[in-house]
Chain A
Amino acid sequence: NAGVTQTPKFQVLKTGQSMTLQCAQDMNHEYMSWYRQDPGMGLRLIHYSVGAGITDQGEVPNGYNVSRSTTEDFPLRLLSAAPSQTSVYFCASSQVTGELFFGEGSRLTVL
């Protein structure tokens, strides 16, 4: 049972480049979310989804897109990377409520 798998673990981008962070879960969870974690800011919700075809914005959605075409996958797209998007990104999933299962994180540096 792999749980929540994020790729890549590390990525360096130049300002203006685009990329996709991948997230997959094998627990048949309806809820999936993306967070970013920055020193002194804690975990902040970017986008979340409560099922295939349903997404909504979190606290800091600007500059990011998401889609949920299947229950298993919830990719996060950076449209035009900015240095302010340098962060550690976590994908998490859960049943309708309760325990969140996190991935191991993706560390992104934007130069």
Chain B
Amino acid sequence: SQKIEQNSEALNIQEGKTATLTCNYTNYSPAYLQWYRQDPGRGPVFLLLIRENEKEKRKERLKVTFDTTLKQSLFHITASQPADSATYLCALDKAGNNRKLIWGLGTSLAVNP
């Protein structure tokens, strides 16, 4: 069955630096891969979606890459700010229809001023 691994240890970086979070999967390549942000006590909030035929997607300070050969997605936050501190989740969508997403456990990011 499909498994997802995200950095289990919290990531601490200095304000202004680039944060890089990893999402590795073990089996089939999904049609879509999504990234979400979750703050304590809140629901996840969508950030970016990348399709299997896309190598890279950008949105403001955010960038996602998708390497189907390595079975890996990288999520970058450039010029990080303390407000970026949160848990970041990746989710794989095999069929591209949201019906049975598989979620990683998330990586906690702390941006220190």
Bound CA span A69–B1, Å: 33
Number of contact residues on A: which range applies?
20 to 34
- A32-55 CB mask vs B (1 if < 8 Å, else 0) is 010000001111110010100000
Q: Which stretch of B21-29, B63-71, B78-86, B91-99 is in the interface? A: B91-99
Tell me the bound Cα distance from A44 to B98 in angstroms.
Answer: 13
In the complex, chain B residues 55-113 whose Cβ is within 8 Å of any chain A Cβ: 89, 91, 93, 96-101, 103-106
The reply to whether B105 and A40 contact each other, CB–CB distance below 8 Å, is yes
B60 to chain A, nearest CB (A): 16
Listed by A's residue number, 13 A-B pairs whose Cβ atoms lie within 8 Å are A41-B105, A42-B104, A42-B106, A43-B91, A43-B101, A50-B99, A56-B99, A96-B97, A100-B34, A100-B98, A102-B43, A102-B45, A104-B42
Shortest distance between the CB of B26 and any CB in chain A (Å): 15
Residues of chain A contacted by B46 (CB below 8 angstroms)? 99-101
**A42-B106, A99-B49 known; A90 and B44 CB under 8 Å?**
yes
Mask, A75-106, CB within 8 Å of B = 1, is 00000000000000010101011111111110
Which B residues, 34 to 57, have Cβ-Cβ distances below 8 Å to chain A?
Answer: 34, 36, 41-46, 49
Find B98's partner among A41, A98, A102, A103 (CB 8 Å cutoff): A98
